[in-house]
Structure 1
Amino acid sequence: MIEPISPVTPFTARSTAAEVVRGVDLTGRRAVVTGGASGIGIETARALAGAGAEVTLAVRDPRAGERVAAEIGGRVRVASLDLADQGSVAAFTAAWDGPLHILVNNAGVMMTPELRTPQGWELQFATNHLGHFALATGLHRALAAAGRARVVALSSVAHLREPVDFDDLHFRVRAYDARAAYAQSKTANALFAVEANRRWADDGITVNAVHPGAILTNLTRHMSREDLDASVASGYVFKTPEQGAATSVLVAVSPLLEGVGGRYFEDCAPARRHVPGTSGGVADHALDPGAADRLWRVSVDTLGAFGTLGA
């Protein structure tokens, strides 16, 4: 089991993306931020671009992306990407040319009604995990070519609820539960970081998962008022989008984390191991190398027919 490491940064849950990137020069570096046209994706892209990076907003709605790009300014590009559509993922990776230094797998869907892709895959798992898995593996050569590239996979505290159910990934047997489906996909994001880091470390690529915190963005549109009220009652403190983007940006660029991979971060620090009955931290099932390897192999088998996998 991978042990969480001690805090190594001076930043906190209240830090903003602009604060954690201050003093970092990303001139000459190229970044992709999925879901970069809304919520914390905008603030992630803004911070990276502000530090000098060329940023590509990989978005479902290019018109929204163009509006955000114009508002941010700098070297911000827009490209179409629908993570639930493997054809769209394949087109994006095929069109990418040159090295890629930073990949932030930020986009996602949360607690949707029971919806499926044309392949019959449950939408949250298909979008949050399989889409990003195909994207990252499809961009593997570009990441390896960059030297010291970093990949950031956005997970969530929701991962504490559910491990990956390998016997019924797509809710074909068990009754559909939107919360369980979301939680499973977020555990998958954390396990991806564990296994991708193991496989790609020799290529100079580090991969980590982050929990951005609770932020009221478009992602929460499927949550009921009761769910939101329960979150507040349980002690959750909502962050601003600028604060929510901070952990992603920290993991993507901070010199303090050079060579650190396969970990789970929250509140701008490596997460402690979760203790049942408490909030926060990272569950053992989200760092389990055996589950991470199994998920990788299942994902390759599932997506292999689409030819989007790079390694």
Structure 2
Amino acid sequence: MELITTGFGRKSTASEVVKGINLKGKRVIITGGASGIGIPTAVALASAGADITLAVRNEASGLTVAKDIIRDSGNPNVHVGYLDVSKRKSIADFLKTWEGPLDILINNAGVMAIPDLQFTEDGWEMQFATNYMGHFELALGLHSSLTSAGNARIVAVSSSGHLLSPVIFDDLHFDFRFYDPLYAYGQSKSAVALFAVAAHKRWAKDGITVNALNPGAIATNLQRHTGGLKTPAELQKTPEQGAATSVLLATSPILEGNGGHYFENCNEAEIVEKRPSDYHGVARYAIDPDYADRLWDVSIKLLGR
């Protein structure tokens, strides 16, 4: 099967990708929309006319960023809602505030390489909970809103870090394994990629398209636990370049109804059988449909559904 190509690439920006696309009347939620690549993602979508909700942990910071996005995009329809995807009560409270259809959900929030093993109130390893489980529960809770929108999209932000570890089903929360911050991060991002495969399989019939992506190497606060970005300068991206693939998956006509894929640099990534030195491509285990089904079932059980 041929990989999906778009005409955009590694240096394309979010504003270039969305040029000519009209999102007026479309409603968008961006988790972590007030930091990192969430900001240029929101600016690009707001500039195209979308009604944006920044779902953030720090509401004060979110309000400041929202004002900047309104100024930069000329679109007054930018809102802020409190959401901490590592806390199930916060997710439940956020879902209670949402009414009506939802056209685009961008699961963008995340944490990386937390130095010490931490657990949520449910006993879940913190990176797995924040990067994957919280967004999984959020998407389930918004399913009816996405369905009612018709032709809705979910964008799941994974990472080249998924190449560090598959999902270890027998020890998701490091109850037996020695904790390694980067392996835990890798597992969580493999889970994000598998979510796109499983969710699209289940929800395409409801008009919901789901894809995952690697935004690339961007210097943001995400790397605060790793001492900063280690990627060679020639492979690094600006935040707006990093946001381009998210915006493409959210808006490109090429992907209408076409989901379950993993993208990087605005194009579908090639499958790799071993980790490349430059961390490009997608590991087969991160898009395996059997693993995706297994993870979905495990996740439903973790939620007690």
- TM-score normalised by L of structure 1: 0.93
Matched residue, 1:286? 286
Matched residue, 2:274? 276
Structure 2 counterpart of 1:257, which letter?
L
For 1:47 and 1:149, the matched residues in 2 are separated by 18
Structure 2 counterpart of 1:46, which letter?
V
Identity of matched residues, %: 57
2:83 aligned with 1:81: yes
* Cα deviations by residue, 1:94-144 (Å, 9 ceiling, x for unpaired): 211000000000000000022111222110001000000000010000000
Match of 2:218, SS state, is coil
2:26 aligned with 1:29: yes
For 1:125 and 1:268, the matched residues in 2 are separated by 25
For 2:293 and 2:97, the matched residues in 1 are separated by 29
Match of 1:167, SS state, is helix
2:202 aligned with 1:199: yes
* Larger displacement relative to structure 2 (5-14 or 73-82): 5-14
Matched residue, 2:92? 90
Aligned residues: 297
2:10 aligned with 1:13: yes
- Is the 1:214–1:236 contact (alpha carbons within 8 Å) kept by the matching residues of 2? no
For 1:43 and 1:286, the matched residues in 2 are separated by 27
* Cα deviations by residue, 1:129-165 (Å, 9 ceiling, x for unpaired): 0000000010000000000000000001111121100
Structure 1 counterpart of 2:95, which letter?
T
Structure 1 position 275, deviation (Å): 4.2
Gaps of 5+ in 2: none
For 1:11 and 1:198, the matched residues in 2 are separated by 26
* Cα deviations by residue, 1:250-274 (Å, 9 ceiling, x for unpaired): 0000112212100000000011111
Match of 1:153, SS state, is strand
Matched residue, 2:121? 118
Structure 2 counterpart of 1:298, which letter?
V
Matched residue, 1:298? 298
- Is the 2:23–2:48 contact (alpha carbons within 8 Å) kept by the matching residues of 1? yes
* Larger displacement relative to structure 2 (75-84 or 7-16): 7-16
Q: How does 1:99-248 map to 2 (within 5 A)?
A: 99-113=101-115, 114-224=117-227, 228-229=229-230, 231-232=231-232, 237-248=235-246
CA RMSD of aligned residues (A): 1.3
Gaps of 5+ in 1: 306-311
Match of 2:237, SS state, is coil
Matched residue, 1:309? none
For 1:195 and 1:205, the matched residues in 2 are separated by 12
